[in-house]
């Protein structure tokens, strides 16, 4: 999965703050934003999980070095 950043967000397709969604175009923008946020959340969680696993491995290795 690709890592996302705020620069990946398609600004021209954002519904804006507190949108009133009426036409299909606004609905598409809202769904696009929700999809982006879901992907961003998943990407962030995966990155954090990998980082935590790396730290745990390094800590375990350091503990083994001291035994």
Pick the closest to residue 37 from 14, 17, 12 (CA basis): 14
Q: What is the pLDDT of residues 5-58, one digit of tens each?
A: 656 666 666 656 666 667 888 888 889 999 999 999 999 999 999 999 999 999
d(CA 54, CA 19): 41
pTM for the full predicted model: 0.57
Domain borders along the chain are 24-56
From the CB of residue 2, how many other CB atoms can be counted at a distance below 10 Å?
6
d(CA 48, CA 64): 24
Backbone angles phi, psi at 39, to 5 degrees: -65, -40
Q: Looking at residue 54, what is its pLDDT?
A: 96
């Amino acid at each position: 999965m690709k890592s996302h950043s705020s620069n990946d967000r398609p600004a021209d397709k954002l519904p804006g703050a507190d949108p009133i969604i009426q036409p299909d175009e606004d609905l598409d923008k809202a769904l696009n934003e929700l999809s982006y946020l879901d992907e961003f959340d998943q990407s962030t969680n995966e990155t954090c999980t990998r980082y935590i696993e790396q730290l745990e491995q390094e800590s375990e290795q350091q503990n083994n070095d001291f035994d």
